[in-house]
Structure 1
Amino acid sequence: MPAPYHGGCQCGAIRYELTAEPQRIVACHCKECQRQSGSAFGMSMLVDRADLHLTGETRSFTRVADSGNDNTGVFCPNCGNRIYNVPGYIEGKVVLKPGTLDDTSWLKPHAYIWLKSAQGWVPLPDGVVPVEGQFPPRD
């Protein structure tokens, strides 16, 4: 499904349009994504910040990631739904939470990351790139 893509929060106070294709989609099994999603993993979609156009008021929360970089989560102050993260390690990019898209039927992760924290009962699909830690792997 080609861009543009549309999405928003659970209560509808925030809406967005993504005007370009994502650069990558990953399923992250780190403990922070498990905590944030309330599930076995979180999904993340790297996009250019300039391609994401939001309407509605947001709030943010910044934490220090395992890498030592700041990671700022942007969410709806009404329903608490996380919309995207601003990673401290890369300029001009955001990590959109693809579960907030109106149509998620086309989503397919390019890689599964932080598998060293994965829940043992979650099977990996055939053909995915498994990564034990952060993507891309660091030396």
Structure 2
Amino acid sequence: MTSTLPHGQCQCGAVRFRLNGEPIETYVCHCRECQKQSSSAFGISVIVQGGDLQLLQGSPKQWARRTDTGGMLDCYFCPECGSRLWHIGNDNPDRVSVKGGTLDTAPDLSEVAHIWTIRRLDGVIIPDGVPTYKKEPPR
């Protein structure tokens, strides 16, 4: 990320937000839930402190789902276009996982960690030398 604090929005622009602090870390997640949620091979999770996420416009809807590790995850999305915006785990509500595709400036993925690689789709190439985790990374 650049030193300019990132802004983001859903696909239709009804929900807008700003990150008032630098990201803690960024992951490329290969779990089945991220594949389903993104309708793609993986999801991008930009982790920020909960207090750093500032809603600027709109009112996201929320639903909860169980995670592979047994916790609960609150999932926020645009009520107009359905774009997933961010997730907050009930076990650590001070950390927010912002969906990387919602940011106005896309995150640089060249050196980020890849998680849940046990579920990586055949043909997806992970760069040499980046951290990889078969499941969740240690905290």
What is the letter of the counterpart of residue 31 of structure 1?
R
Deviation string 1:80-116 (CA, Å, 9 cap, x unpaired) is: 0011001122131110001101111x42252100011
Report SS of the residue matched to 1:130.
coil
Alignment of structure 1 residues 45-124 onto 2, 5 Å: 45-54=46-55, 55-104=57-106, 106-108=107-109, 110-124=112-126
Pair 1:136-2:138 in alignment: yes
Contact 1:59 1:75 in 2 (8 A): yes
TM-score w.r.t. the length of structure 2 is 0.93
Structure 2, unmatched stretches of 5+, are: none
CA distance in structure 1 between the aligned counterparts of 2:83 and 2:50, rounded to whole angstroms: 19
Equivalent AA in structure 2 for residue 40 of structure 1: A
Q: CA deviation at 1:125?
A: 1.1
Partners in 2 of 1:68 and 1:126 — Cα distance? 31
Alpha-carbon separation, structure 2, partners of 1:21 and 1:127? 24
Q: Distance in 2 between matches of 1:75 and 1:111?
A: 25
Superposition RMSD in Å:
1.3
Q: Deviations over 1:34-84 (max 9, x none)?
A: 011100100101101111111211101100101111001100000000110
Aligned residues: 136
Instruction: Assess, with a 3 A threshold, how the Cα gap between structure 1 residues 48 and 3 changes in structure 2: closer, same or farther.
Output: farther
- In structure 1, distance between residues paired with 2:90 and 2:129: 30
Runs of 4+ in 1 over 4 A off after TM superposition: none
What secondary structure, in the 3-state scheme, does the structure 2 residue paired with 1:4 have?
Answer: coil
Taking structure 1 as the reference length, the TM-score comes to: 0.93
| Partner Cα distance (1:73, 1:107) in 2 | 24
The SS at the match of 1:129 is coil
User: Match for residue 5 of structure 2?
Assistant: 4
Residues 1:25 and 2:26 aligned together: yes
- Other structure's SS at 1:91 match: coil
Identical columns (%): 39
